Structure 1
């Protein structure tokens, strides 16, 4: 048997931090690391397998035979390690683990591998690459572009189906660094959010069932290719958000489940360690080494790939012990309630570690319940996220819009209710991939009416969204009115842009993004009630809402009027609190967007007519199914 040399990247302090769950840079120690020892090139391997009685590195270098056995550390850490000469970048390998648990033998991919084989192949790949970053300007000034008082308009992207080649092959990371970057910049989005790019075995999971937590998926190229894409986005002043999944993982044989023949990463109690909806395993958040694994993974993407934010998936499933469980399928915590105290503690530690170690980054919670203080600092009792998805707003708004306009006067509370809780969290308004799959239809075809009204309703929806307090997210295809539901196996329906109504929606979103970036009243105070003021929310009969958005300077204030019916409303009177020159700066019914162009409010005249409790007022022509913005 070839000798595996004794070598270690771990100091005693590293081991202490690991055991206590406080080692947040484990990717620098565990995994496979090409190095040179005494002039001999090879790879240092290290893996955590405390229930093993033998661990072998098997791969293409030894015909997948049990020839190279790692050495277990003496300190009780459960780490096996060793140096294998003659291996290096490109070597395929797995860990073959003989367990103390009933003689079980597992063959596992490396949890810390930097690269993986292209699925359905499952081996890990020894990797060491170099990328010279060119995003210094972005990174240096990121705090002024990625903060909570900055415009945040996100284009959510599934890399495998945004656009494909003529033979339906994927675009590579480097091809996307041309096509996608040019498109996102032209559309004036401030950020892109990538659905999970960490390696995953099963395409229909969309990436939400991970097996390679430290490896960008090989479907589109190498790790350096993905860094090239991030770099290009930053050089064009576009932030990068990564979907991150610490809530569950699949039971695939090469994955984390029963890793060393024991419940190493997953909770051993099936009531807490198995997710009934997704048929997947749930991390054991109370185990120190598992917490260190997950927090190290989060920091890895911020550190090594310059990610600007992590959108944390399925937070609600982590917070509650009874999530998607029936009576008898869960057990309460020590206080007798349904909160997962270990997961809550982990989330707080995660957010503290991220914000302590990186300037100008954000964490964003996809959390669908009324759990309090999700986006409030840990120091005052919050979970510590920077933002939270506003799922209630999304649901209520889409429910409202599906109503025929003639009935909307009975449902105006669906729209106005959001303002009773908008400022309890730092909310992001999402129209995500989840809203255009599984029979829900595209956003366009969730709108009522004939063809013109469908498009007018969609323009109205986007106009209302971009003027409502909170940051914004649109899933790819929504920006040009994709007709069909999203299909992860094919490209978006780009051919629709030959039609005026679809290209009009695209122009509208492009201009709304520009409006959002150019007008501080829409973002400076987007998370505080100082940035919003109702003018009138009670005109149910006409289905009209009027409100103000406010910035730091009064001169930046905007008046927004939304007409949720297809009736043209001439000389609609609105009370105002200030005098001065007014002008219309945006109209979703403009002909260039596919609208009717039926109104003209170029310079509304301020009159001394009391209205809405103000001494002055203006009379506007409000377009059908339209939004007008006055400055």
Structure 2
């Protein structure tokens, strides 16, 4: 093979670049580090740069030089830990890695931490790519997003794992849909159902399917399982053009120990804490990022901005936030290090989140950042200037746990657990919550949503419709994992497609249509979303009817006429003489029930006139025949 010579001292990375990066403030560092097609001294090729502060020697190897570490050595840039080289003749789509010689003389071969593309697993090389080619067509969407306050907008999220949403019967790439193929079918389904956003699991490149994408080796590379970077740009663009937002799961908490990844990148602790009491997750067998290093913080914060700015992503759902905040997370006594004040809070992570969320708020053009935080850590969604972490939303894990525990009960025992459904209404204003029924709740022998429900088959479906109605009425944005909106029986398995045939079975189709009706109702009535986080948005009619397991409440809108009255019966006992108190005289129009779904405006026979009969501490009331496992929503 022809020997490929280097061009050194390029000046592509300036002294200012190095200063900003080494101080954690270079928010476009991915434009400098990594592999970038360039023309230098009249020659076309690729410029490579990598941060490897402990290495004694670094080279770039690939299919362009026979993977020979001696042919394209890199040179260090003074006092920065960065190495660079320009290699003429390297084209787009070529494979490469870095060869790093450790202080002990061992040579490591590592994928590029800033690579834009990667080989299809199980191969592990990085792939040269150019992100400047794709032409975007979602300008109207991005402009609209920039001017929206998502706290006051409807947000109903469809959580999706692309590799198992649908698969095709073909040999190529194990039957995965490509980004382009998935875009068309997924957008059609999501738009028809009425979801406002999708949340994608496992998009950043990862080596092991069973990690679901939560053990990342390529933070800047959309996984090649489904196609190229340009094809993922097309996917996001297509969603936006069809009115659908795209949220990505993002994992700044930890990374795997795979030999080609970030672990001991240059032979020593580089991206991770050196002390294993801080630098390893004993439960997960992974490494923990060292948030005390400016270069590591810069890697992650620039990565968050990269997805928002380069791929037009509408939000990031930050995984495993609690594991980052607590130094003793998953660790026993003696296995963790206290902070300088003697506590278990990771002070470096607190500052990292404040920095991250401030930058996204400043530059993200309306993009949101969502915390999967499973404890009672205060002020997760408050602003940094108020001692908050600055997230836009927080997953409401407490609500999810209480809701599922209640829904799984035999209806006879629900009267003894009434508080599980009312407790969430005592703290819903504490954070900007999203109510979640996520993938974590339908794996590992937890059972699918339909199989959590008690009773015979029809009762299971009735219970699930009732539970979803309560979820729509409860303050907070919404998230539902794929397959649970048509009653998937099997637990989710990343290796298999969803059981789509069940959506055509009578009970599955009825549930699917009902969830669609709920989602369209949710988007139609601002009372269900524009007052989510203030007390004025919700009031009980009767929170204490535990003997009959009936809940009745009102959602109040901000600056709108229509409020909504919810009545929900969580037992199989019909209440033909049911009466519910109402706050004012007038007409109460039934807009949805579990028997008929969503009523259309022109349908008759669904108006109920209030009576001057005091009930539930209200001056007026209406009588409504409440079915077994029945729910009804009235507008007034």
Q: Shared fold by TM > 0.5? A: yes
Residue deviations 1:473-515 (CA, integer Å, cap 9, x gap): 0000011010110011111000112311000111011111100
Runs (5+) with no aligned partner, structure 2: none
Matches within 5 A, 1:579-598: 579-590=585-596
Distance 1:146 1:157 in 2: 24
Distance 2:47 2:441 in 1: 45
Q: Aligned to 1:606, which of 596, 610, 620?
A: 610
Deviation at 1:196, TM superposition (A): 2.1
Classify the secondary structure of the residue corresponding to 1:441: coil
Q: Report the more deviating stretch, 22-31 or 141-150.
A: 141-150
Q: Which residue in the other structure is 1:399 paired with?
A: 405
Q: Which residue in the other structure is 1:628 paired with?
A: 632
- Whether 1:113 aligns to 2:115 is yes
Q: Which residue in the other structure is 2:242 paired with?
A: 236
Q: RMSD across aligned C-alpha pairs, in angstroms?
A: 1.4
Q: Report the more deviating stretch, 505-514 or 144-153.
A: 144-153
Q: Aligned to 1:322, which of 324, 328, 333?
A: 328
Classify the secondary structure of the residue corresponding to 2:584: coil
Distance 1:498 1:94 in 2: 48
- Residues 1:23 and 1:123: Cα distance change in structure 2 (over 3 Å): same
Residue deviations 1:550-596 (CA, integer Å, cap 9, x gap): 10135221101111111111232222122222110010232799xxx
Q: Aligned to 1:62, which of 65, 69, 91?
A: 65
Classify the secondary structure of the residue corresponding to 2:475: coil
Q: Which residue in the other structure is 2:443 paired with?
A: 437
- Whether 1:505 aligns to 2:511 is yes
Is this contact kept in 2: 1:504–1:592, CA < 8 A? no
- Whether 1:39 aligns to 2:4 is no
Distance 2:630 2:19 in 1: 62
Q: Aligned to 2:20, which of 14, 17, 22?
A: 17
Is this contact kept in 2: 1:8–1:82, CA < 8 A? no
- Whether 1:454 aligns to 2:460 is yes
Distance 2:598 2:628 in 1: 15
Distance 1:624 1:425 in 2: 34
Q: Which residue in the other structure is 1:597 paired with?
A: none
Q: Aligned to 2:623, which of 593, 598, 619?
A: 619
Deviation at 1:37, TM superposition (A): 1.4
Deviation at 1:146, TM superposition (A): 6.4
Classify the secondary structure of the residue corresponding to 1:584: strand
Deviation at 1:327, TM superposition (A): 1.2
Distance 2:270 2:490 in 1: 43
Deviation at 1:145, TM superposition (A): 5.5
Count of residues paired in the alignment: 623
The runs of 4+ residues in structure 1 deviating greater than 4 Å are: none
Q: Which residue in the other structure is 2:572 paired with?
A: 566
Matches within 5 A, 1:143-162: 143=146, 147-162=150-165
Classify the secondary structure of the residue corresponding to 1:52: coil
Q: Aligned to 1:557, which of 541, 563, 570?
A: 563
Distance 2:347 2:46 in 1: 40
Deviation at 1:601, TM superposition (A): 7.2
Classify the secondary structure of the residue corresponding to 2:45: strand
Is this contact kept in 1: 2:64–2:94, CA < 8 A? yes
Residue deviations 1:318-377 (CA, integer Å, cap 9, x gap): 000110111111121111111111111111111111111122110000010000010111
Distance 1:232 1:145 in 2: 20
Is this contact kept in 2: 1:22–1:292, CA < 8 A? yes
- Residues 1:471 and 1:572: Cα distance change in structure 2 (over 3 Å): same
- Residues 1:178 and 1:146: Cα distance change in structure 2 (over 3 Å): farther
Is this contact kept in 2: 1:146–1:152, CA < 8 A? no
Is this contact kept in 1: 2:321–2:372, CA < 8 A? yes
Q: Which residue in the other structure is 2:177 paired with?
A: 171
Deviation at 1:526, TM superposition (A): 1.0
Residue deviations 1:391-433 (CA, integer Å, cap 9, x gap): 0000000000111111111110011011111110000000000
Distance 1:143 1:629 in 2: 33
Q: Report the more deviating stretch, 174-183 or 547-556.
A: 547-556
- Whether 1:198 aligns to 2:200 is no
Is this contact kept in 2: 1:201–1:210, CA < 8 A? yes
- Residues 1:47 and 1:591: Cα distance change in structure 2 (over 3 Å): closer
Distance 2:229 2:146 in 1: 26
Is this contact kept in 1: 2:4–2:65, CA < 8 A? no
Q: Which residue in the other structure is 2:216 paired with?
A: 210
Q: Which residue in the other structure is 1:29 paired with?
A: 32
Is this contact kept in 1: 2:317–2:371, CA < 8 A? yes
- Whether 1:49 aligns to 2:52 is yes
Q: Which residue in the other structure is 2:472 paired with?
A: 466
- Residues 1:34 and 1:121: Cα distance change in structure 2 (over 3 Å): same
Is this contact kept in 2: 1:146–1:308, CA < 8 A? no
Is this contact kept in 2: 1:8–1:81, CA < 8 A? no
Is this contact kept in 1: 2:518–2:598, CA < 8 A? no
Matches within 5 A, 1:287-436: 287-436=293-442
Deviation at 1:525, TM superposition (A): 0.5
Q: Which residue in the other structure is 2:139 paired with?
A: 136
Is this contact kept in 2: 1:177–1:233, CA < 8 A? yes
Residue deviations 1:268-291 (CA, integer Å, cap 9, x gap): 010100011210000000111100
- Whether 1:8 aligns to 2:11 is yes
Distance 1:285 1:556 in 2: 48
Q: Which residue in the other structure is 1:98 paired with?
A: 101
Classify the secondary structure of the residue corresponding to 1:622: coil
Is this contact kept in 2: 1:601–1:621, CA < 8 A? no
TM-score by length of 1: 0.97
- Residues 1:591 and 1:320: Cα distance change in structure 2 (over 3 Å): closer
Q: Aligned to 1:124, which of 113, 126, 142?
A: 126
Deviation at 1:256, TM superposition (A): 0.3
